Structure 1
């Protein structure tokens, strides 16, 4: 396995944030120390680590908008809910606004990251020992920081819409407010800047990691992947001819979100994705697969697909991972593990992250069909079924028919009642019914699932106390999905749509679409088929929250969460109920600009509805 080098979070540089809070007056020695900071590679590495530290950290998902610069993306979407109280509750009940500290938290963090990147770029050339073995690390590090700055702007526009572009030079700590008071740029200007900055770095960065220490760094392939993400965001309905934002203008009348649909944005996104997929420098990227199953698990195509879709998230820097981050995953994994009565260690978690019934129902059947289209599917009754768990072979357990003969990704994502626990050293069979070993009736506090499910994705097979190398941030399957979505919107007859969609389905162990042997009919509504594939393939990867908004469907998808009736034992438990009603209004498609920023810089206009 490759040695992993992930940039650690290093609080090394003091950077000014966009509100331009002045530093205490500096003395010459302070400035000398700042200059010396960039003279040696050892301290330059620490300064660059500080630039990387603004990247969102999924390890902190349960502390939404409180640490790790991670937002409420999982449990404020229709994928799941959190039993553990956090900011997702505010988002889901509509109890947040422009004065909320969490709104300011992300705004300031990203602008601090942008300022840190600009400061680094302006000073890294001072390094006297950054040429190692003929490799010019000054150029490489500078372009990594430049790409990161563009990535931080991308995260800002996904969350807040059009933002303020600060330019390439760092802001002086003593700059007067009037000098930095700038209005918001238009969305098109923001995307153009992000794309042009990433394009500028691509030829100056290694295509992919060339050595062990490169893993975790921005490479050309990472920069191109974020470029594709930015172009897809710009092409989707939220920002492409959205007349709901007709009044969102700067005070001089400048329109911030274009009012006319531009089909060329989809064409541009498709071209960028195809350029990535056909680039010979990226030929080593491939969907993760396995040639055989672990000992004890029959080596069938279905079981290989289960292991592949499970381990793509666990097996470090595998062939599919384009960019990832490391860190302590135990808090996150504790949220996934059921709170098993009487268990200990990695077998007893918090049951905090509760997948929705909507997500459970989104997974295909083993026949590759949506559940509503497969006559063999039943939501009622029980059957004896052998799940594809290596530690539970030879035992056909009685489970709800909802969980019988589903696709491999369902079993790699969802822990349901009657499922053998993931730890091969454990004999626990999870039971979320009211009086079950992980049921609400047996838990004195709030550490139970709200929906009768917990998430299995990202969870090591030895339980939550065992770490794993990285959290994937971008993998090849997402590039495929972005490509086919852009093609569907720009050239729906392009044969690449089925080619790349079927690659994902084949790896997932379900029938491809088409006319060949073993294929199933091409869906009449290919747009919805692509969206469904995305939903299940990228579940719990911080994607769903944003694309339901960018597609402008969140007013439908984010109104309520359903799940099993956790106050009942079987059979009543298996009657789906609404577990949470949610508040979603048109204004919630974008976050508000922090009120403090609007007050300090009056030329910044607030988002529509806030």
Structure 2
């Protein structure tokens, strides 16, 4: 941080310098504050101060709005899914934005929230009717907000300016209010320092669900874990692609050109620190009479030593659907309120939904068979069907397990898959309950949805694009009672959950060189490439899903283990908004995102075999143009024009 202060007092956007006289200026407090009371009065009273902090949190990105009307420009920039109809995020994936585009221009919005957080940190001592416990907690919240808003800037724009901690004067000169960007590592260190400050002051837990977006100590430490893992990853750690991404005022590379392997140790220690809180655990649901028997190669011991006493489907499914109250989900670390637009996009049009999300065949194929084998190397006990058999129905009376129903017409290619598959992917002939619907219209509940051109999930009414072009949709957040025509169950969206911490820990350890030890002396944590630790925590994820654990041969091979971890993250966090950030940090985005595949939805229900063939998608919103310049969003040109100290991102 001394380097930040000496090299660049990072901070304020150029637009500040040219709008200091406007009441809408970035440097001014929101206009409604003046309508309510004076700024000085706000910092005298606890109730107004808390409103002010809550107002600052409104500048955080709405990560829970995943697709339609989504606030995340990267939500559709992956190999997970595309949308049937025009959604704003697709512009970025198709390369239709530029440095003049106002689409997803959050640069000033995030800095405005940072300004608020700075005001709280600097003036909270003025509050007269607040306890010291609340004063510390409010200060911690402000540090968290400042850190997460900078992190949001870093994710979207790459290295950014960092404001001086003291609020800047509104009458400063253009020169005094203009600052260059910090380097990536400087930004990471500053963000983590603020999160450390937040963790030291925030409460360990919140008393009720109404405080769902208010962070805790565990949330602050968990975001450090995420950031440190990203900073250690190849795209941001010695990446030669950025050899000429240089700060022009002093010639310093924005992305260090020297690979620092110690960063993996820092990341591993950060994850272990959250584990050592002993506060979080993977969410599980006990087995009952309709829990299916485990395959023979899955340990039958009690969780976390096996999956013998849990229901793997419900243990994953019930976290997301609202079946379990958020406060009872031991895995939730930081959450947001759920946005039902996500469900509208997922639901078939005939049932009142938008029918707009097309999950890719690539994601479908990533799910393993129920005994943990890849579909391309399946076992004799649970074989993946050959192409000539894959389209045929499972027959009999279908299947049911863990409260989940598979109609008899479901294709064999979807049979005997791992439980996370059924909790996430809506495929042809899936059964949709929608039990909250109490009307009399046909096909609004208890519907077997099919995506043939003449199926129940085909386009509806005067909206020809409201259909599935891939033959798949997302059911991850859909409760059996949810219905666009009835109502939606209350639920929460996990901004970060404990499964991520465990996989962060395993990945960071796997990348540490054999024999290298890293010690975090401040927190008394020592880490190395410990195969027993890797096995223990990786297997927790596998066993919760009802799958066998990792083998010795896999643990002994860092390259093989790396690919296993990547696959596990792809499936575990499917359609949660994490995929872009993983693919980017690994340097895999341009390799993985190309042609989408799905089923042949132009086939009729009378030709099942033709339907169930992998088909390249040619719909206009499935054509992505992914290049390296899309790793960072461009800084809008109006900002660049007003601050000569800023450098634009590569390619823009």
Aligned residue among 179, 188, 193 for 2:190:
193
Aligned counterparts of 1:402 and 1:247: Cα–Cα separation in 2: 48
Q: Name the SS for the 1:485 alignment partner.
A: helix
Aligned counterparts of 2:646 and 2:555: Cα–Cα separation in 1: 52
**CA deviation string 1:476-535 (max 9, x = no partner):** 00001111111111155532112111100100111112379xx99999711000000000
Q: Name the SS for the 1:449 alignment partner.
A: coil
1:56 aligned to 2:66?
no
Q: Note closer, same or farther for the CA distance 1:205–1:88 as it changes in structure 2 (3 Å cut).
A: closer
Report the CA distance between 1:51 and its aligned residue: 1.5
Equivalent residues of 1:72, 1:88 under 8 A apart: yes
Report the CA distance between 1:176 and its aligned residue: 3.0
Aligned counterparts of 1:582 and 1:560: Cα–Cα separation in 2: 8
Aligned residue among 560, 563, 567 for 1:528:
563
Matches within 5 A, 1:426-575: 426-440=445-459, 444-464=463-483, 465-491=487-513, 492=529, 494-514=531-551, 525-569=560-604, 570-575=608-613
- The residue number in structure 1 matching 2:234 is 237
Equivalent residues of 2:62, 2:72 under 8 A apart: no
1:383 aligned to 2:393?
yes
Q: Name the SS for the 1:402 alignment partner.
A: helix
Report the CA distance between 1:119 and its aligned residue: 1.8
- The residue number in structure 2 matching 1:272 is 270
- The residue number in structure 1 matching 2:345 is 335
Report the CA distance between 1:471 and its aligned residue: 0.9
Higher mean alpha-carbon deviation, 431-440 vs 459-468, is at 459-468
- The residue number in structure 2 matching 1:10 is none
Equivalent residues of 1:511, 1:520 under 8 A apart: no
Aligned counterparts of 2:14 and 2:451: Cα–Cα separation in 1: 48
Q: Note closer, same or farther for the CA distance 1:387–1:37 as it changes in structure 2 (3 Å cut).
A: farther
Report the CA distance between 1:180 and its aligned residue: 1.6
Aligned counterparts of 1:521 and 1:400: Cα–Cα separation in 2: 38
Q: Note closer, same or farther for the CA distance 1:258–1:109 as it changes in structure 2 (3 Å cut).
A: same
1:312 aligned to 2:349?
no
- The residue number in structure 2 matching 1:47 is 52
Aligned counterparts of 1:370 and 1:59: Cα–Cα separation in 2: 31
**CA deviation string 1:304-351 (max 9, x = no partner):** 111111111233131000000115x222211111222xxxxxx43111
Aligned residue-pair number? 571
Structure 1 unaligned runs (5+)? 1-15, 341-346
- The residue number in structure 2 matching 1:184 is 181
- The residue number in structure 2 matching 1:344 is none
Q: Name the SS for the 1:539 alignment partner.
A: coil
**CA deviation string 1:36-66 (max 9, x = no partner):** 122222211211111211222244333456x
Equivalent residues of 1:337, 1:463 under 8 A apart: no
Aligned counterparts of 2:563 and 2:265: Cα–Cα separation in 1: 19
TM-score normalized with structure 1 length: 0.88
Aligned counterparts of 2:174 and 2:489: Cα–Cα separation in 1: 46
Aligned counterparts of 2:557 and 2:283: Cα–Cα separation in 1: 25
Matches within 5 A, 1:361-440: 361-375=365-379, 376-378=383-385, 379=387, 380-384=390-394, 386-388=398-400, 397-424=408-435, 426-440=445-459
**CA deviation string 1:240-275 (max 9, x = no partner):** 001111111111212111001110111110011112
TM-score normalized with structure 2 length: 0.82
Equivalent residues of 2:57, 2:145 under 8 A apart: yes
Higher mean alpha-carbon deviation, 397-406 vs 29-38, is at 29-38
- The residue number in structure 2 matching 1:8 is none
Structure 2 unaligned runs (5+)? 1-11, 295-306, 437-444, 514-528
Equivalent residues of 1:441, 1:567 under 8 A apart: no
Q: Note closer, same or farther for the CA distance 1:538–1:422 as it changes in structure 2 (3 Å cut).
A: farther
Aligned counterparts of 2:480 and 2:172: Cα–Cα separation in 1: 53
Aligned counterparts of 1:443 and 1:30: Cα–Cα separation in 2: 48
Equivalent residues of 2:291, 2:401 under 8 A apart: no
**CA deviation string 1:166-207 (max 9, x = no partner):** 121223344332212111111111111111111122222223
Equivalent residues of 1:98, 1:594 under 8 A apart: yes
Aligned-pair Cα RMSD in Å: 2.7
Equivalent residues of 1:513, 1:522 under 8 A apart: no
Q: Note closer, same or farther for the CA distance 1:364–1:74 as it changes in structure 2 (3 Å cut).
A: farther
Aligned residue among 642, 648, 651 for 1:600:
642
Aligned counterparts of 1:557 and 1:299: Cα–Cα separation in 2: 34
**CA deviation string 1:219-243 (max 9, x = no partner):** 1111000111111111111110011
Aligned counterparts of 1:272 and 1:232: Cα–Cα separation in 2: 9
Aligned residue among 28, 35, 38 for 1:33:
38
Q: Note closer, same or farther for the CA distance 1:523–1:17 as it changes in structure 2 (3 Å cut).
A: closer
- The residue number in structure 2 matching 1:166 is 163
Q: Name the SS for the 1:354 alignment partner.
A: strand
Aligned counterparts of 2:140 and 2:287: Cα–Cα separation in 1: 41
